[in-house]
Chains A and B, each alone.
Chain A
Amino acid sequence: MKLQKHWYKIAAVLILLYVLVAGLLVPLKPGIMSVEPYILKSNSVNKIAVEGYNSHYTEEEKTLKVWLKLDSLKGIEASNVKVIDDNNLEATFSFGSRFPADKTTGTLLVHSENDGTAVLPNFRLINQEQVGSQSTTDGAVTNLPNIFYTKPGWQFPFRPLLHETIRNTFFHVAIWMAMFFLATVSLVYSILELRNHNPLTDIKAASFTSITILYGLIGIATGSIWAKTAWGAFWTADVKLNMATVAILVYLAYIILRSAIQDQDQRARVSAAYNVFAYLAMIPLIFVIPRMSSVDSLHPGNGGNPALGGEDLDNALRYVFYPSIIGLILLGIWMSNLRIRVESLLNKET
């Protein structure tokens, strides 16, 4: 067995093992699951129940601080914090004066020394008139102290709604990237086939395309499961889903086209031309149309949503996300090579 020929298979297995282990076992940062009620009124005593995730409120009771952030400088501190258990606490905001008129939402911050700061945005603020004569003016807008930081160490970010499903980034997003790589390889083989006719390049292009389709189907399936938990339905009217479906249909037509033509020479030429056409028609479908701000999309980076990268693609995610792409590409090449061998053996038989 020659090692030079097989190194990429070993690399694929090792990288994917690392992705599975790290991607599923590295914990999430402490976060805030829910707050009840999700609203804060002025001129009254607000008791809110906070449910934390991966938090250690009982251990951290002494350093626990709850703040409502109004902007990058100003905030209101909770007058009283009562810890119920590790994941539940009750904070009291009593706020006498009115909220600044231009502020309708605030951000809830729960900070402790070892857990860092957990954040819940879009907390609603409501101004109401003073009821009765009792004054509750012990809370006021003050400057935010400079104590907030996120928990150091290798943990995946906690995002509202996504929670643990953020790990699907390593599988759902990475498999689409790998799919594009394989489709590009197949395109290159198709161009080679058009320039110098060689039965082997035709088989290579077809094999890479079939693995591309497989990856596309897995990409749709993983995305569908993710959509069920994050958006509430297996299929939504998202433009990216529609375009991905069209792209899969275009590639399925490639397979049907190949089986419809008997003559080997003609099949090679027609399917290579179709592959080039399909690839170039697929690029605007997936890269351009969903990115326009005029369309509705729930995907990050599409339909005017903020893009993946920046805030969303945390460094902790990158350590697993990039290796996952490489591992899936290597696995795809491995599978394609197996198909190439099967196809060329079948070719010899006939």
Chain B
Amino acid sequence: MQSVNRVFLLLKKDITLEFRSLYAIGSILLYVVTTVFIVYKAFGTLEARTWNSMFWVLFLFASMNATLRSFSKTSSENSFFNYSYINPSEFIISKILFNLLFLVLIASLTFVVMSVFFEHPVQDFSLFSSGAFLACVGASILCSFSSAASTQGASNATIMSVMSLPLTIPILLIAIKISLQSMNLINDSTISSDYMILGGIILVMFGVTILLFPYLWKS
């Protein structure tokens, strides 16, 4: 129970820091509106299938941009403090939760802004949002892991995108399939097994991240 409290304390600290500057939220808002506007000027109207692919591509790059900084914010003195006082698993779990909140915000923001410019083709909203939520969970674990690995010492944006891009493919592929189903573009009666695979991948990634993070942290 105490460790759950500590995780939420760390999460609260991150959120407070974020609201103090509003830098990340503002930059994401700007990013999403700009990219959707470019897509709007380029395409005019979007078919359902194109809408779906544009949504996921925008989401992927926005989430990369946003989570990249989740560790680079901490200065070296700060990380030394963290290292000596905080349990690494609690630390990474709070980071994952923070990134998850952020990614959910990005996904809903992208959805809303895209629905303003183009009519959204989603028929089954619960299916779409649950698939998108699972994709957010997977992506937040992955991005937290790779930004933790890449921002040790010299922070490098390339390393993070190299690490996380190929690993996001399976998560995004299943999420895209679920969202296609929610738009009635494909008819698949075995969609529940896709949820199970996605959940399994997320669980494996979560376990591995918790196991590996202490090794990545020591520098």
Chain A interfacial positions (CB closer than 8 Å to B): 194, 242-243, 246, 249-250, 252-253, 256-257, 260-263, 266, 269-270, 272-274, 276-278, 280-281, 283-285, 288-289, 292-294
Task: Given contacts A260-B159, A261-B156, A272-B215, list 6 more A-B pairs with CB under 8 A.
Answer: A250-B166, A270-B216, A273-B149, A276-B211, A277-B208, A280-B205
Q: Are B149 and A280 in contact (CB under 8 A)?
A: no
Q: Are B166 and A246 in contact (CB under 8 A)?
A: yes
Closest CB-CB distance, A308 to chain B, in whole Å? 22
Sample 16 A-B pairs with CB under 8 A, ordered by A number.
Answer: A194-B215, A246-B169, A252-B166, A257-B162, A263-B153, A263-B154, A269-B215, A272-B215, A274-B149, A276-B212, A277-B212, A281-B167, A281-B170, A281-B205, A292-B197, A293-B190
Chain A residues in 8 Å Cβ range of B209: 277
Looking across the interface, which residue of chain A has its beta carbon closest to that of B189?
A294
Q: How far is the CA of A268 from the CA of B37 in the complex (A)?
A: 43
Q: How far is the CA of A273 from the CA of B211 in the complex (A)?
A: 10
Contacting A at CB under 8 A, from B118-148, are 145
Q: How far is the CA of A242 from the CA of B170 in the complex (A)?
A: 10
Looking across the interface, which residue of chain A has its beta carbon closest to that of B211?
A276
Given the known interface contacts A266-B219, A270-B149, the answer about A246 and B170 at a Cβ–Cβ threshold of 8 Å is yes
Q: Are A274 and B163 in contact (CB under 8 A)?
A: yes
Chain B residues in 8 Å Cβ range of A249: 166, 169
Chain B residues in 8 Å Cβ range of A256: 162
Q: Are B166 and A261 in contact (CB under 8 A)?
A: no
Given the known interface contacts A281-B170, A288-B200, the answer about A260 and B162 at a Cβ–Cβ threshold of 8 Å is yes
Q: Are A281 and B150 in contact (CB under 8 A)?
A: no
Chain A residues in 8 Å Cβ range of B145: 277
Task: Tell yes or no: B18 within 8 A of A by CB.
Answer: no
How many B residues touch A, CB cutoff 8 Å?
Answer: 34
Chain B interfacial positions (CB closer than 8 Å to A): 145, 149-150, 152-154, 156, 158-159, 162-163, 165-167, 169-170, 173, 188, 190, 193-194, 197, 200-201, 204-205, 208-209, 211-212, 215-216, 218-219
Closest CB-CB distance, B215 to chain A, in whole Å? 5
Q: Are B165 and A294 in contact (CB under 8 A)?
A: no
Q: How far is the CA of A290 from the CA of B152 in the complex (A)?
A: 36
Choice from A261, A276, A292 contacting B159 with Cβ under 8 Å: A261
Given the known interface contacts A260-B158, A270-B216, the answer about A284 and B167 at a Cβ–Cβ threshold of 8 Å is no
Q: Are A280 and B208 in contact (CB under 8 A)?
A: yes
Q: How far is the CA of A220 from the CA of B165 in the complex (A)?
A: 21
Looking across the interface, which residue of chain A has its beta carbon closest to that of B212?
A273
Looking across the interface, which residue of chain B has its beta carbon closest to that of A294?
B190
Q: Are A278 and B215 in contact (CB under 8 A)?
A: no
Closest CB-CB distance, B210 to chain A, in whole Å? 12
Closest CB-CB distance, A285 to chain B, in whole Å? 6
Q: How far is the CA of A313 from the CA of B173 in the complex (A)?
A: 32
Chain B residues in 8 Å Cβ range of A266: 152-153, 219
Given the known interface contacts A194-B215, A246-B169, A246-B170, the answer about A257 and B208 at a Cβ–Cβ threshold of 8 Å is no
Of B154, B205, B215, B219, which is in contact with the most chain A CB atoms at under 10 Å from its CB? Answer: B215
Chain B residues in 8 Å Cβ range of A294: 188, 190, 193-194
Looking across the interface, which residue of chain B has its beta carbon closest to that of A248?
B166
Q: How far is the CA of A183 from the CA of B152 in the complex (A)?
A: 26
Looking across the interface, which residue of chain B has its beta carbon closest to that of A284?
B201
Choice from B197, B208, B215 contacting A289 with Cβ under 8 Å: B197
- Which 8 residue pairs of A and B lie closest in terms of their CB atoms, listed nearest first? A294-B190, A249-B166, A250-B166, A273-B212, A194-B215, A246-B169, A270-B149, A253-B166
Closest CB-CB distance, A8 to chain B, in whole Å? 32
Chain A residues in 8 Å Cβ range of B149: 270, 273-274
Closest CB-CB distance, B60 to chain A, in whole Å? 15
Looking across the interface, which residue of chain A has its beta carbon closest to that of B207?
A280
Looking across the interface, which residue of chain A has its beta carbon closest to that of B200?
A284
Q: How far is the CA of A274 from the CA of B145 in the complex (A)?
A: 9
Chain B residues in 8 Å Cβ range of A272: 215
